Amino acid sequence: MTRRHTVTTGCVLAITALVLAAAPAVARPLSAGIAAAPAALKPPPGMLEALQRDLHLTREQAQDRLLNETRLAGIEAKLQRRLGDRFGGAWFLGTVAQTLVVATTNAADLPQIIAAGARGEVVSRSLAQLDGVIDEVDAALSADRNGLVRYVDARINKVVVLSDTPSTTEDVIQASGVDPVAVQVVSSTERPQPLSDLVGGEAYYAGPATRCSVGFSVVRGLQNGFVSAGHCGTAGRTTTGADRREQGIFQASTFPDSDFAWISVNGNWSPKPAVSNGTGGTVSVAGSRPVIEGASVCRSGPVTGWHCGLILQRNASITYAQGNVSELVRTNVCAEAGDSGGSFISVDQAQGVTSGGSGDCTSGGVSYFQPINEILTTYGLSLVTIAGNPPPPSTGTCTGYPHTAEGTLTEGRSVYQPNGRFYRSTADGVHFACLDANDGSDLDLYLQKWIGRSWATVATSAGPGPDEKITYTGTAGYYRYRVTASSRSTPYVLGYNMP
């Protein structure tokens, strides 16, 4: 079963050689630029040291790298929105003073890419087309024991297949009808396997013998818990902590196809917005904004501790002995058995949970993680962050929410909140809202999302009384609340969050 929106591709051409560079988009010297950097750019404890060790950088180079990655992420997001279906992917070039490269299928986009501060590259296939190609490749190799790793490589504008018998794999792809020009088969000994052996990266046990790692703390309604790898346990299986105390139960689990699960915990466990840094300290979790290919990322697990590296490719498909898993992220961060489910984080942004890997932390290797936002959206979970999480909607007054709006409505009138406009959700997640008005009045609440040309209502609470509550799990984008008075004038308070 595929989880992508497949794009049908026609005849595609080889990658073109047209490349234009902007003025160098490099990091400013730390001494000159760090004072103006946002507080969020302060690296968490242990991250600079791990980047120095694993990427062979000086401390200043590691600092400059993180500063540059954060600065360029906003440029990439803006260009991706502007290019739309012409967007061919983005990646970093360089070890320290990275350059942001943004690809497009239309050379007319190059001036705006350069003007934004990136390097432009013209490619033959859009990222959406490559996503369609990897769906076809996955299907072609579904019954084949070669080509166990597939991924979209935006840098070469192809789908890459890693195989220990390249000629056999090429024959299978050729016979399937997949466009061979869009696929590159590479000889490789990479052999993926799950790493099975409440702070992210700490150990827990599923049953008597399976050891895995806590990913990130989450909440669903009033229930606390954490996310981890799906291959660690099936729904209904109980867990114990590293100290073998009773801990929780698998509420849901998906493996293969995907590799994620969420585990509810009992009252003896208090989820924290933190990830272990392997040296007795922790790294704070502030959100779940995905980073660009080539960006720095660190992994935490109870077996090998804290290791860092780079995002190599997104949209990787892996074949384990148990079946295929798609839409993983491939990294050059090492991992070993028992690290499964553990946290991947970039500075303070949760990225995903460890699925599997190849190699080890002595000789080096690669690892793959399941993106966190898909887990949150699938199960209706909220990530526990240092900013706090809003309470679920409840009866009575709407207090304790991170954002509030107040006003007075007359019968038959409506108003949009916040402030007659909208808000931007920067990540997939759960939207909570609570509307409270005077007894005897009748207010209704609607959550709307911008879908490109108009606003669509995605959630409604329209009971007969003055109090309304909405819980909605959605993707990143622009949202607004519409408050409507069906009877009598009344003041109201709206409490809400912004994932």
Give, for 445, the enclosing helix (H) or strand (E): strand 442-450
388/256 Cα distance (integer angstroms):
33
Cα distances (angstroms) measured from residue 259 to each of 253, 470, 492: 8, 29, 43
The neighbour count for residue 493, using CB atoms within 10 Å, is 16
217/56 Cα distance (integer angstroms):
31
Decide if 431 is catalytic: no
Phi-psi region of 265 (alpha: psi -120 to 50; beta: other; left: phi over 0): beta
- Token pair of 181, please? 């020009």
307/69 Cα distance (integer angstroms):
19
346/47 Cα distance (integer angstroms):
9
* Cβ contacts of 108-114, under 8 Å, gap ≥ 24: 109/83, 110/20, 112/79, 112/82, 113/22, 113/79, 114/20, 114/21, 114/22, 114/23
Q: Hey, which residues does 408 pair with through a beta bridge?
A: 491
Residues in the chain: 499
Catalytic choice (163, 228, 340, 358) = 340
Decide if 259 is catalytic: yes
Catalytic choice (131, 135, 231, 284) = 231
Using an 8 Å Cβ cutoff, are 233 and 210 in contact? Answer: yes
Catalytic choice (109, 153, 259, 348) = 259
Q: What residue ranges in 183-322 does DSSP mark as E strands?
A: 183-187, 193-194, 203-206, 210-213, 216-220, 223-228, 238-241, 246-254, 260-265, 274-276, 282-284, 296-301, 305-320
Using an 8 Å Cβ cutoff, are 253 and 344 in contact? Answer: no
Q: Indicate which residues carry an active-site annotation.
A: 231, 259, 340
